[in-house]
Structure 1
Amino acid sequence: MTETMFTYINEEYETNKSVLKNRKKNLNEFIKLTKNKKYDEWVVLATGSSANAVECAKYYVEKILKINIEMKMPFVFSNYSTSIN
């Protein structure tokens, strides 16, 4: 069978349920890495729909965690950035 956009739309409900159900397990390593550290800023590398998701969540996460989030394009970051500011 050839997948189409409709295939993935039909899978969205179950996929979202799975993401929510497994969120603690999926975030466990991230929580361990950040638990005892204080960060002022996160740099997120993203393009396309991932960049859109970052933009959607950015202000909420900044407010809740009291941090600044900067989004960069991976190609631009890897080829033109010398460091994370």
Structure 2
Amino acid sequence: MTFTTTVAGIPCRCRVTFYSHGAPMRTTGWGYGDCDPDEPEEFEFDILDRRGYPAAWLEQKLTDDDYDRLLSEYHEKRDAWAA
């Protein structure tokens, strides 16, 4: 999935290359060692210029806040697409 966004105020595209919603801890037996640990949500993406070409120079401008914002935008776009 690819969607339009901005990074450092510059218009671009975000191409999602991998997404996993994660999973809570799961108990598989009666003992302490009989469980699978929780798996965190995973989100991987590439930043592309407006023409769709990889923009490594723009990826270098990403901050932690941008990562959270892009994940939130991805959820919004995915939910709108599914509806």
Q: Note whether the superposition's TM-score is higher than 0.5.
A: no
TM-score, normalised via structure 1 length: 0.24
Normalising by the residue count of structure 2, what TM-score does the alignment of the two structures yield?
A: 0.25
Greater fraction helix? 1
Between Structure 1 and Structure 2, the one with more strand by share is: 2
